[in-house]
Structure 1
Amino acid sequence: MSMAAPKLTKDRQEVLLKFKELLDKANVACEAFRQSGDGTLPGDMYFELRVSSINLLTRLASEGSIYVQELKKMNPNAFSMKGVLEAARADYLQGFMTDHRLLISAEVFSDMLVQAEVLLDHAYKDAAAVIIRAVLEDGARKLCEAHKIEVGKRDTIQQLNEKLYKEHAYTALVHKEIIAKAEIGNCAAHGRFDQYKKDDVAAFLEFVLRFLAQYLR
């Protein structure tokens, strides 16, 4: 018993040092991202940071945690990666890393919109917006399949939206609302977190719930 506390303290210090190391690398990557003419990162810099971050967060949380899932599916974006690391570090410091309501692992929540709702309830508006955006895009793809509309793997939400509207899958009002709501998710995915509020994300969530209920029954 007397030896357990020092070990835990040492482990915690090592974890925080690892977070600092990764965040320092993320800051360097953000600067490289700013200076790049085409908005990309050097492959070695991106993959080193991504793999190390996934390794740490898998050990601390789980492979199914929201942190790891976001890192695995995101585009090479230094700002988004830094945001995930900062959120995870804050949760770790505040003792939330063991709270399954906040881990949002795949084993606990299978529904991505439930994940988004819980994140939003805990004031994680940015992560919630990214998830809702992903759900909307997936829903639009499924609707395209239902209407026999050909889509490409790289088609964006807006491209899918235009194809669906052109085929009269829904009204002009829905088409316009998708344009407006998807922009919230785009801002979140590209680190423009100050361009929307928690209430905007809540409205985004409500819209996607209605959209899926109406068009993907």
Structure 2
Amino acid sequence: MLTEELHKRAQQLIATGKAVLATAYSTGGQYNVNYVQDAPMTGFRTAALSFIDRTYGREHPHYEQFHKSTLRHYKSDAEAGVAILEAIADEIAGGWLLSIKSLVSAEVFADFLEMAEHLLESGYKDPAAVMCGSVLEEHLRQLCQKHSVSTEEEKEGKFIPRKADRLNAELAKADAYTKLDQKLITAWLDLRNNAAHGKYELYSAEQVAQMLAGVTEFMARVRS
């Protein structure tokens, strides 16, 4: 998903949160408590947690803070949720999300490729192929962010992730890399899919080794 789309979605959720706040009511009496309507609050919380999870992951402080700050349908919980989303929107708009993720992912990817190489050397070509292919697909998704290529498409009112083959075609069209790279990536993704679906006889350990070397070189040359 593009940075602009992430920011737009954050703004939509902020607007939803403010709509929830507009439902606020008071119990009155000696022990006055300010609530918001339960159903809108539940919908707001669910949508926001899904967004934060997909953007940052469940281990990120934003997710944990939102989760624990919006457990009830008090007005103060809705206000806290809106404030967290506003901070997230500012972070995305400032470019901090992508810069942090790119630094972390480079190190993580290197670790996974090293693990895939170790699996291959130990005679486990199939999990090595799946792991290498997964790293490649995530790299494509990060390249999409860099080159303004959407990683999602709308289907029946829902946004679903585009498949890696589609991302590959769109990135080549956007001149993120050459047509030769596109063909190589198509072959690597096919090999990964064969491994993931148990079609182990359709490729050899030598081909997995070539894939691993090729993906490593490609990621070093075409950086996200």
**Greater RCO structure (CA 8 Å; 6+ sep):** 2
TM-score, structure 1 as length reference: 0.48
